[in-house]
Amino acid sequence: MTIGDSTFFHAGIPALVNAVFQGAKFILVILDNATTAMTGNQPTPQVGIRADGRKGTPVAIENIVKACGVRFIRTCDPYETENFSALLKEADAYTRQDDGGMAVIIAKHPCILDREALKAQGVYRVRVSEDCTACRHCLENFECPALVYRGDLDRVVVDDILCIGCGVCGAVCPVGAIVVEKGGER
């Protein structure tokens, strides 16, 4: 199950308390991009900036999760796909243990709508090679809007206008047809 950081602060905490109290065993991934993107990129409480721009006391997601009684808490950058996949497997194993419980992973990565954060992120050139088998795995399981099926070519292509050059999609293709090279442009 996933929840955004802003939604977690506004509505997810009571649900997490209830899940822990009831002995639920599932993985909760908190998508932490430190912003409330859906309503105008306001900072979340962990940033420590109030609505009027003055400094406030930062409220750490990890501390709240721990206070809710969760024992398995990890933070990882989801763009590091191998590490993130391994962490999901570790969390799954924990939830299946007899003495296991809730597992919370804080997927921490800056919001791609934040231009300053985007500048600090590496840029890659992404293309789909002729090796694409049109299996649509990338479309159905990754769902990046920059990956588009072209029926006339019978394969997936990258829409360069939508692609932000993050390079994460390179780990998704089962046949290695998505090619990621350093040095793209935004």
User: Which tokens go with 75?
Assistant: 């933070």
- The predicted pLDDT at position 20 comes to 97
Q: How far apart are CA 67 and CA 55, in angstroms?
A: 24
Which class is domain 122-182? alpha beta
Q: What is the pLDDT of residue 86?
A: 97
Domain 2-113, CATH: 3.40.50.970
Average pLDDT over residues 5-10: 91
What are the contacts of 17-23 at 24+ separation with CB within 8 A?
A: 17/68, 17/69, 19/102, 20/68, 20/69, 20/70, 20/101, 20/102, 21/69, 23/101
Q: What is the pLDDT of residue 27?
A: 98
For residue 127, the number of C-alpha atoms closer than 13 Å in the C-beta half-sphere is 8
Highest mean pLDDT among 4-8, 51-55, 89-93, 170-174: 89-93
Task: Give the pLDDT of residue 185.
Answer: 65
Q: How confident is the model at residue 28 (pLDDT cuts 50, 70, 90)?
A: very high
pLDDT above 90 for 151: yes
How far apart, in Å, are the Cα atoms of 39 and each of 42, 119, 134? 7, 22, 36
Domain chopping of the chain, boundaries: 2-113, 122-182
Least confident interval from 27-36, 66-75, 100-109, 131-140: 27-36
Q: pLDDT category, 129, cuts 50, 70, 90?
A: very high
Q: Where are the beta strands (DSSP E) in the chain?
A: 2-4, 27-32, 35-36, 42-43, 72-76, 103-108, 124-128, 147-150, 155-158, 178-182
pTM, two decimals, is 0.81
What is the mean pLDDT of the segment spanning 113-119? 71
